[in-house]
C-alpha cells in the first residue's frame, strides 16, 4: 500500500496546519514584529518605532506595579499550593478515612468555571452579606465586622491569591496522588520496618520519588501565576483602576492598554515581555530543580 501515502499524509495535515498558521503562529510571529512599531487606534497608520515601546515600559509605573503583583504570585503560589497539595495527596494515599469524599470536595473547584468561582468569592468577601464577615461577626471581632476585603487596596490582591490557591489545590492534589500510587510498596515497607514516622516517610521517601511530578507541577503553576486574567477581572468586576491598581496584573494591564486604550503596539510589547518571562521562568524552574532522577 505504498502508493497514495504522500497524498494521504498531505490531506491529513493541510487543514490543521493552515488553520494553525493563520490563527496561532501568524499572530504570534506578527506580534513580535509589531512590538517594534507605533500602532495606535484603528487607523492603518503603523510606523517603525525601534525599541521605543520597551523604553517606555521601563518608565511605566503601572507596568512595574502589575509585574510586581505577578512576581508575588510566582513566588507564593508554587510554594503554598504545591506544599498543601503534596500533604493532602500524601494523607489520601496513606489511608485517611473518608478520603474519597475529601478528594471529590477538594477537586470540585477545578471543574467549576473560573468566572463562577470569582463571582462566588466576590460574594463571600462582600462586606454587607458575605460569609467571611459573617464568620468574623460570629467570632466577635468588632473592628473587622464590615471590612471591605475587595474594596481595600491593602487586602484585595491577597484575597484574590487565596481564591487561586483554593481553586488550584485539587488539580495538583490529583496529579500527585496519581504519582504517589506509582511508587512501589517496598519503599514504604522498608521505611516502616526501620521505624520511620509519617513525616520522615513523607520527606525522605515520597518527595524524592515523586520529584519529577513535583517539577512538572511547579512549572505549571508558575506559568498560571503569570496569567490570572479571568480571576482578577471578574473578582474586581473590571474596576481595576478604581482600586488604585492594587490588583492589576500584567494580563489585565495588557488588555487595558491594547483593547481599551487602543495602544496596540504598546500592549504587544508588554506581551512580548510576558513571553520572555514565562520562557525564563520555565527554564529556571526546570534547571534549578534538577536532581538525580531516582529510578523505580
Partner 1 sequence: MNQKPVMFNKGFSISKVAIYAILLFWSATVVLPMVWATMSAFKSDQEIFFSPWGTPAKLLWENFSRAWVKAQLGQYMFNTFVVILPAIFLTLLMSAMVAYVLARYTFRGKSFIFYLFLSGMMFPMFLALVPLYFVTDYLGLRNTYVGLILVYVAFSLPFTIFFMVGFFKTLPKELSEAAIIDGANHYQTFFSVMLPLAKPGLISAAIFNFLGQWNQFILPTVLMTNEGLPEGQSRYLISQGLYFLQAKQGYESDLSGMFAAVVIVTIPALLIYILFQDRIEAGLTVGAVKG
Site for partner 1 in 191-250 (CB under 8 A): 192, 198, 201, 213, 216, 220, 226-227, 229-230, 233-234, 237-239, 250
Least Å distance, CB 65 to partner 1, is 17
126-155 residues in contact with partner 1 (CB under 8 A) are 128-131, 134
Least Å distance, CB 290 to partner 1, is 18
How far, CA to CA in Å, does 245 sit from each of 61, 72, 182, 251, 276? 11, 15, 45, 13, 24
Which of 81, 93, 168, 285 is in the footprint of partner 1 by CB under 8 A? Answer: 93
Helix residue ranges per DSSP H, the chain: 5-20, 26-34, 52-58, 61-93, 99-111, 114-124, 131-139, 156-181, 185-193, 198-201, 207-209, 211-225, 229-235, 250-255, 264-288
Nearer to partner 1, 23 or 203 (CB): 23
Residues 6 or more apart in contact with residue 87 via CB below 8 angstroms: 202
Nearer to partner 1, 63 or 88 (CB): 88
Residue 223: other Cβ atoms inside 10 A: 16
Nearer to partner 1, 44 or 291 (CB): 44
Q: Are 78 and 286 in contact (CB under 8 A)?
A: no
According to DSSP, the residues that pair with 40 across neighbouring strands are 263
157 near partner 1 (CB under 8 A)? no
Which of 49, 81, 168, 251 is in the footprint of partner 1 by CB under 8 A? Answer: 251
Q: Is 275 helix (H, G, I), strand (E, B) or coil?
A: helix
Which of 20, 158, 203, 284 is in the footprint of partner 1 by CB under 8 A? Answer: 20
Based on its alpha-carbon atoms, the radius of gyration of the chain, rounded to whole angstroms, reads: 24
Cα 6 to chain centroid distance, Å, stands at 42
Nearer to partner 1, 64 or 212 (CB): 212
* Selected range binding partner 1 among 49-57, 66-74, 105-113, 153-161, rule: CB under 8 A: 105-113
DSSP 8-state code for residue 293: P
Which of 71, 76, 136, 183 is in the footprint of partner 1 by CB under 8 A? Answer: 183
* Selected range binding partner 1 among 47-55, 63-71, 144-152, 266-274, rule: CB under 8 A: 266-274
Least Å distance, CB 256 to partner 1, is 12
Nearest to 167 by CA among 224, 243, 127, 87: 224
95: left (phi over 0), alpha (psi -120 to 50) or beta: left
Nearest to 263 by CA among 18, 13, 30, 41: 41
Q: Which residue has the cell 507605533?
A: 38
181 near partner 1 (CB under 8 A)? yes
Nearer to partner 1, 160 or 268 (CB): 268
Least Å distance, CB 150 to partner 1, is 12
Q: How many residues bind partner 1 (CB under 8 A)?
A: 103
81 near partner 1 (CB under 8 A)? no
156 near partner 1 (CB under 8 A)? no
Where are the extended beta strands (E) located within the chain?
Answer: 37-38, 47-48
279 near partner 1 (CB under 8 A)? yes
Which of 43, 185, 287, 288 is in the footprint of partner 1 by CB under 8 A? Answer: 185
Amino acid at each position: 500500500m505504498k502508493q497514495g501515502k504522500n497524498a494521504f499524509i498531505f490531506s491529513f495535515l493541510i487543514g490543521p496546519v493552515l488553520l494553525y498558521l493563520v490563527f496561532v503562529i501568524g499572530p504570534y510571529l506578527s506580534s513580535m514584529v509589531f512590538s517594534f512599531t507605533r500602532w495606535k487606534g484603528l487607523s492603518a497608520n503603523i510606523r517603525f518605532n525601534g525599541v521605543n515601546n520597551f523604553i517606555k515600559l521601563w518608565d511605566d509605573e503601572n507596568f512595574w506595579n502589575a509585574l510586581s503583583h505577578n512576581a508575588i504570585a510566582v513566588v507564593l503560589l508554587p510554594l503554598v499550593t504545591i506544599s498543601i497539595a503534596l500533604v493532602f495527596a500524601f494523607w489520601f494515599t496513606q489511608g485517611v478515612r473518608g478520603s474519597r469524599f475529601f478528594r471529590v470536595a477538594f477537586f470540585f473547584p477545578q471543574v467549576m468555571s473560573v468566572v463562577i468561582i470569582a463571582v462566588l468569592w466576590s460574594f463571600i468577601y462582600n462586606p454587607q452579606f458575605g460569609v467571611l464577615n459573617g464568620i468574623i461577626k460570629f467570632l466577635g471581632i468588632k473592628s473587622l465586622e464590615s471590612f471591605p476585603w475587595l474594596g481595600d487596596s491593602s487586602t484585595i490582591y491577597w484575597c484574590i491569591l487565596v481564591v487561586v490557591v483554593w481553586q488550584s489545590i485539587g488539580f495538583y492534589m490529583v496529579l500527585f496522588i496519581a504519582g504517589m500510587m506509582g511508587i512501589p510498596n517496598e519503599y514504604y515497607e522498608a521505611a516502616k520496618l526501620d521505624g520511620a514516622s509519617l513525616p520522615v516517610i513523607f520527606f525522605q521517601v515520597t518527595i524524592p520519588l515523586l520529584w519529577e511530578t513535583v517539577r512538572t507541577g511547579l512549572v505549571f503553576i508558575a506559568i498560571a501565576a503569570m496569567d490570572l486574567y479571568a480571576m482578577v477581572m471578574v473578582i474586581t468586576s473590571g474596576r481595576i483602576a478604581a482600586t488604585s491598581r492594587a490588583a492589576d496584573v500584567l494580563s489585565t494591564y495588557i488588555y487595558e492598554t491594547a483593547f481599551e486604550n487602543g495602544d496596540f503596539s504598546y500592549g504587544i510589547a508588554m506581551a512580548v515581555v510576558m513571553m520572555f518571562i514565562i520562557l525564563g521562568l520555565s527554564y529556571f524552574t526546570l534547571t534549578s530543580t534538577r536532581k538525580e532522577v531516582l529510578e523505580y
